[in-house]
Amino acid sequence: MKRFISIPLLVFLFFFLQAFISHAAAENEQIIKPEESGKVFSLSECVTIALTTSPQMLYSKADILEKEHSFESSKKDLYPSLFFNYGYRYAPDAYEPFGTEDYFSYSFSIEQPVYRGRSLVTGVELSELDLESSKAGMARTENDIILAVHEAYYNLLKARKFEEVARQSLEERKAHLKDSKAFYKAGLIPKNDMLQSEVQLAGAEIELLRAMNLSIMALARLNTLLRRPVDTNIELEDVLKFEPSKISWEHSIEQAQKYRPELKQSEIAIEQADKNIILTRAPYLPAVSVSANYLKQGDDPLARDYPLGTSEEKTALATLEWRFWAWGQSKDEMAAARYNMKKAQENQTELLDNIILQVREAYVDTLEAEYDIAVTEKAIEQAEEDFRINQSRYQAQLSTTTNVLDAQTRLTRARINYFNALYNYRISLMRLAWSTGTLL
């Protein structure tokens, strides 16, 4: 009784799944728009497009331009300042010889700071450090974008390979189902064996649908990085050649310590904190400046004549200013500045630890993926031979449907594992280059 009920149920599920999957696959094919130019994009072209169009890169470039102008502005604080002043005063109650009703004056002056506790020079140095930090920030952004493009590029290639494997597996299961139906009609196998083949075919169609969805999302991620519509198809130049890596753990660590832009930024942050200590101290040190002034005054708009005295006045002034007591405020501010430098140093220590972990992870993943390629490549040969033998034995009625279907499953898994290892190896190499700061 149970056998009688299970057969119609399996038949119904098979045809239902087949109809649903065919409809879903047709919709997926309409999701992706064809590439109009038919151009095949290489990895380097994708990287160039992403770096050119990325909003993050445009932001970084604008930030550098901002810091360059700020740096140029800070240098001009060291130059003398020129001033011009023109004034008019009306005093109807004034009377000679103590005043004039109309008073006009204009003056020219120049002022040159001589010493302000090194605050002016330090301000220039801080502006230059800001500029260097922005440049390191752009290098960091470039590193991140290049890695993201590499990952999206290889993940799309990998997803498309998975789709090819799924289609191939589907065709193999269709061929096996055709043989099973012929054997069933000839009375060589029971109906359950044929139904088992039909159910496995439905499962292969589901796997194909999943693989197509993975391809769609991988394409959308790459298109997003390239600033293209997410549903636009793109043909990529495939990279199937395996080239063994020559990586060294010690060399990788040396490169990371030398080239990672984050470490460069942390070094700049420590130096900025040190400069801020000088700026904090500067207001409590003597300030020296010199200035010169020329004044012209009179009772007409051109100040040609001044009845109460000389119409021209020239002065030179040297000023010393020192705020020598502020109730210990300088001590507290200096302590705060020193602790701020301590924070920057501790942040660098933590950052270096995290970078070493990133390098270690990428290094181990690269070695693992490199090993997996050799193993899975051999596994494909064995799985293909296993499938061929089981298929031949099935044709001769020396093997069962289960054996053939299991062999098909092993072959499909071996193919997927191989492509997964191949592209993961490429991604791991790029992650290692990113973790050492050598992607550029």
Domain borders along the chain are 2-77+118-286+326-436, 80-116+287-321
> What pLDDT does 8 receive?
52
With a cut of 60, say whether residue 29 has pLDDT above it.
no
Q: Cα-flanking dihedrals φ and ψ of residue 245, to 5°? A: -85, 155
Average pLDDT, integer, range 190-197: 81
The C-alpha angle with vertex 160 and arms to 144 and 33, in degrees rounded to 5, equals 85
110, containing H or E segment: strand 102-116
pLDDT for 21: 55
Average pLDDT over residues 361-384: 91
Q: Is residue 398 pLDDT above 80, yes or no? A: no
Residue 2 scores a pLDDT above 80: no
Report the pLDDT averaged over residues 310-327: 83
pLDDT at site 404 = 84
pLDDT for residue 415: 92
Which run of H or E residues covers position 298? strand 287-298
Residue 98 has pLDDT above 70, yes or no: no
Tell me the average pLDDT across 38-60. 91
pLDDT at 106 over 50: yes
SS3 305: coil
Between 390 and 432, residue with greater pLDDT: 432
State residue 395's pLDDT score: 79
| Cα 238 off chain centre by | 24
- Top CATH class of 80-116+287-321 equals mainly beta
Which of 100-109, 234-243, 412-421 is predicted least confidently? 234-243
pLDDT average, residue stretch 65-88: 91
CA 418, distance to chain mean position in Å, is 28
Is 10 a residue whose pLDDT tops 70? no
Give pLDDT, residue 28. Answer: 52
The CATH T-level fold of domain 2-77+118-286+326-436 is Outer membrane efflux proteins (OEP) (1.20.1600)
pLDDT at 51: 94
Percent of the chain with pLDDT over 70: 90
5 confidence band (pLDDT: 50, 70, 90) = very low
What is the arithmetic mean of pLDDT over 236-251? 84
Q: What is the mean pLDDT of residues 233-249?
A: 84
Task: Name the pLDDT band for 239 (thresholds 50, 70, 90).
Answer: confident
Comparing 350 with 304, the larger pLDDT belongs to 350
Reported as a pLDDT band with limits 50, 70 and 90, residue 36 is very low
Phi, psi dihedral angles at 17 (to 5 degrees): -65, -40
Give me the percent of the chain exceeding a pLDDT of 90.
47
Q: Which of 317, 293, 283, 429 is nearest to 362 (CA)?
A: 429
Q: Is residue 401 a contact partner of residue 193, using CB atoms and an 8 Å limit?
A: yes
Decide if pLDDT at 34 tops 60. no
Q: Is the pLDDT of residue 4 over 50?
A: no
Q: How far is Cα 384 from Cα 380, in angstroms, rounded to an integer? A: 6
